[in-house]
Copies of this chain bind each other. A is one copy, B any other.
């Protein structure tokens, strides 16, 4: 039942970004990267809600919106799976565009903090290792 998949979700309740959006964005990333493939099962609404300690309807909202954009498919009585969408691509350019906003935000903050270029790059390089997937 995709029992370990909830571990892929990281929620920052204090960030200000709505929880359902955080979930949507993460699933979107895992799909266009290929980590999640067509047919893969997602954690159930109640599992994810319990794991993340949020309301089930918050998870359902994220799933429903992703279904509306053909990222997920609802299988009645079973749960949600990654949609079989033949038009889906995994272009490097597309993935880079998804990442850009976060990089721009980090770069802007770094410059506002007057941090030396090499210090930032070294730290970021380390964090890329530390927060590796799987």
Contact = CB atoms under 8 A, between A and B. Distances in A.
A58 interface: no
A20 to B, nearest CB: 10
Contacts of A127: 100, 103-104, 107
Quickly give the copy total for this chain.
2
Chain A's interface: helix, strand, loop or mixed, by majority? helix
A22 B108 CA distance: 12
Given A17-B15, A99-B106, A106-B103, A125 B121 contact: yes
Given A111-B132, A128-B111, A102 B105 contact: yes
Interface in A111-134: 111-115, 117, 119-121, 123-125, 127-128, 130-133
A29 B125 CA distance: 22
